[in-house]
Structure 1
Amino acid sequence: MTFAQPDHISDLDTLPRMPAWVTSVRSKTLEDVAFSSGAALNHLHLVLGREDVPHALMRDRLALRAAEACVTFSGRPERARELRDLLHLLRPGDLPGPAGEIYFFWRRATERPVSVKALGRALPTFEPGQIATWLNTGQGTPVVRAATVLETVLREAPRADVPALILAEAALAQSLGWKHLIPLLAPSLKRADLLKQGDDLRLACHRAIIVSAVETIRLATDLTRRAEHVKAVAPKLRAKGAAKAVEMILSRDAVAAAALPLPPRAARRLCDRLVELGVVRELTGRDTFRLYGV
């Protein structure tokens, strides 16, 4: 079954594409790479300003990517599928384990507007005063400020890779005037980059921004199309509570049928129907304990 494409989907396609010179920069000078990362952030800013982009869903998907990168940094084997299971199959009272904890940190950091209080909730092992001090460390342009925060936190807390990256992303978001943290550094930095300092670290951060901005724009465009297809079929869903269920699906990377505001059997039928219509995917490939996402 196919669905008519809403008019503003094509509008999204008319957004100026990122110039080729931004992504193909060959220069190794900090000045040139910084210029390209600024251009990349500008294009991303245009996309993030669109109301039709499913922002909560995009942030949740990016939180998963950031967590996956940080888990890889730590040498652990868990990837996206396992991280989703650690979140959605966790029983009350169970501990998420090191990988699950990393994922929880990133989800909490991205789900609420950036503030010291919200970051304190995401990083409960650090005092709010310490978080505020670190956030105020960086000066200058957004990426320079983020790199300074990253370097400062890692110097004062050498094993705090995840908190350092989260606070650097928060500093970047604040500098750009973004309401929420958008993971851009963590998904594209390498483990060795976290050992760098000064201009070397700033250069690595600028390069990471270029890569992540391109990937985030691509993700936002894809999720916007998918979300519109879900919205197109939502009025045809007859189950009581289907509207709230669709709202949950459109704001989260993945959901279990049991988490939807419907009786268990009705929730499973709704998920299966959305998969049948081709607007939602089953993400695990399992017959039981299935997870669904746009």
Structure 2
Amino acid sequence: MTFARPDHTSHPDMLPRMPVWVISARAETLEDVAFLSGAALNHLHLVLGHADVPQALLRDRLALRAAEACVAFSGRPERAAELRDAVHLLRPGDLPGPAGETYLAWRRVVERPVSIKALGRALPTIEPGQIAAWLDAGQGAPVTRAAMVLEAVLTEAPRSDVPALILADIVLAQALGWDHLMPLLATGLKRAVLRKRGDDLRLACHRALVSSAVEAVRLSTDLVRRATHLKAVAPKLRAKGAGDAVEMFLTRDAFAPSALPLPDRAARRLCDRLVDLGAVRELTGRDTFRLYGV
């Protein structure tokens, strides 16, 4: 289903806050942890229903975090900055490398509504029939279904961390009635957890979703604040194509100036102007090959 949109405009301070007891509770049993994860996911659902939460931008930033976690699982050194470079500084004909491929898979899967076709684009090395079979492996409540899919994929393909986590998040989204995948499990799980099975894996998934839902709510609040400021300064921009550039910044984690719908020099000036206005950030700290994002 599509999130219901309140009629009022959502100021970041108006977004419902995660209940303190969800954050501070120290549950040990599967039943208690499941209760907390349900409360956290329900609260995240309420936050996502607010009109000013930039959904695409939130998903894209969570995709970066999920990719970073998956790359760390594989023992590779790349972190967020290197992942951004691997994707945004690609030249025609270049290959993104293993870490870049992981990031691209997460970005592709959050771009479009959940479907086998969209999953095939994100996971091109897996047959659609296999994807469908794994998605059908889960039964029961949302988190239980996600854990069962995670276990099914990793049992049949032990090195397939990225497909397993993507498909588990897909099942979770479907069970919660979300149109798009929201990357949650990868950012909350530890590498060793992926070797667990049965109730131990379910318990770990519930714990992971408490922490990742809390973080997603915090990030949503931060992005609403940043997006609101960007929209407020947009009328001050005089460059032709600035409006389209602003809309792009509201949908993606980062951009190189060359990706914006302006001539190169005008795009760089626009990015610097937005930085001066406090509306976007330069993300690399470099003098050249810069990347910008809300």
Shorter-normalised TM-score: what interval?
over 0.9
Q: Which residue of 2 is the match for residue 165 of structure 1?
A: 165
Per the alignment, residue 266 of structure 1 pairs with 266
- Tell me the alpha carbon deviations over residues 2-60 of structure 1, each in whole angstroms, 9 at most, x when there is no partner: xxxxx8454x4234422222122222100000000000001000011112100110000
For residues 160-211 of structure 1, what are the alpha-carbon distances to aligned partners after superposition, in whole Å with 9 as ceiling and x for unaligned? 0100000000000000000100011001100000000000000000000000
Q: In 2, distance between residues paired with 1:14 and 1:118? A: 34
Check if 1:33 corresponds to 2:63: no
| Counterpart-to-counterpart distance in 2, 1:18 and 1:221 | 11
The answer to whether the aligner puts 1:132 opposite 2:140 as a matched pair is no
Q: Are 1:13 and 2:13 an aligned pair? A: yes
Give the 3 Å change call, closer, same or farther, for CA 43–79 of structure 1 in structure 2.
Answer: same
Find the residue that maps to 1:186 and give its secondary structure: helix
The 5-angstrom pairing of residues 77-156 of structure 1 reads 77-156=77-156
Partner of 1:64: 64
* Partner of residue 177, structure 2: 177
Tell me the CA shift for residue 94 of structure 1. 1.0
Equivalent pairs counted in the alignment come to 287
Cα distance in 1 between the residues matched to 2:92 and 2:53? 33
**Given residue 83 of structure 1, which amino acid in structure 2 is its aligned partner?**
L
> Cα deviation per residue 1:98-151 (whole Å; 9 max; x = unaligned)?
100100110011111111110111000111111111111100110000000000
Mapped partners of 1:64, 1:199: distance in 2: 29
CA distance in 1, matches of 2:17, 2:272: 36
The CA deviation at 1:155 is: 0.5
> What amino acid sits opposite 1:284 in the alignment?
T
**Is this contact kept in 2: 1:25–1:33, CA < 8 A?**
no
Q: Alignment partner of 2:292: what SS?
A: strand
8 Å CA contact 2:16–2:47 kept in 1: the answer is no
Residues 241 and 16 of structure 1: is their aligned pair in 2 closer, same or farther, counting only changes over 3 Å? closer
Contact 2:169 2:182 in 1 (8 A): yes
Q: Name the CA distance, whole Å, in 2 between partners of 1:99 and 1:292.
A: 20
Aligned-pair Cα RMSD in Å: 1.0
**Matched-pair contact (CA < 8 Å) for 2:169–2:181:** yes
Deviations 1:238-262 (A, max 9, x none): 1111111111111110001011000
CA distance in 1, matches of 2:278, 2:26: 41
Alignment partner of 1:91: what SS? coil
**Is the partner of 2:267 in helix, strand or coil?**
helix
1:191 matched to 2:191? The reply is: yes
CA–CA distance in 1 between the matches of 2:84 and 2:18? 32
Letter in 2 for 1:280: V
Q: Secondary structure of the equivalent of 2:234?
A: helix
Conserved? CA contact 2:15–2:50, under 8 Å:
no
**TM-score of the superposed pair, with normalisation by structure 1:** 0.96
CA–CA distance in 2 between the matches of 1:155 and 1:137? 12
Distance in 1 separating the partners of 2:20 and 2:264: 49
Percent sequence identity over aligned pairs? 77
Does structure 2 retain, via aligned residues, the 8 Å contact 1:68–1:79?
yes
2:50 maps to 50
C-alpha distance in 1 between matches for 2:17 and 2:50 = 15
Question: Cα deviation per residue 1:252-282 (whole Å; 9 max; x = unaligned)?
Answer: 1000101100011110110000000111100
Cα distance between partner residues in 1 of 2:79 and 2:121:
24
Partner of 1:200: 200
Give, in whole Å, the separation in 2 of the partners of 1:23 and 1:121. Answer: 36
Contact 2:18 2:217 (8 Å CA) reproduced? no
CA distance in 2, matches of 1:53, 1:9: 8
Q: Which residue of 2 aligns with 1:284?
A: 284
**TM-score of the superposition, structure 2-length normalised?**
0.96
On the 8 A contact 1:9/1:225 being kept in 2, the answer is no
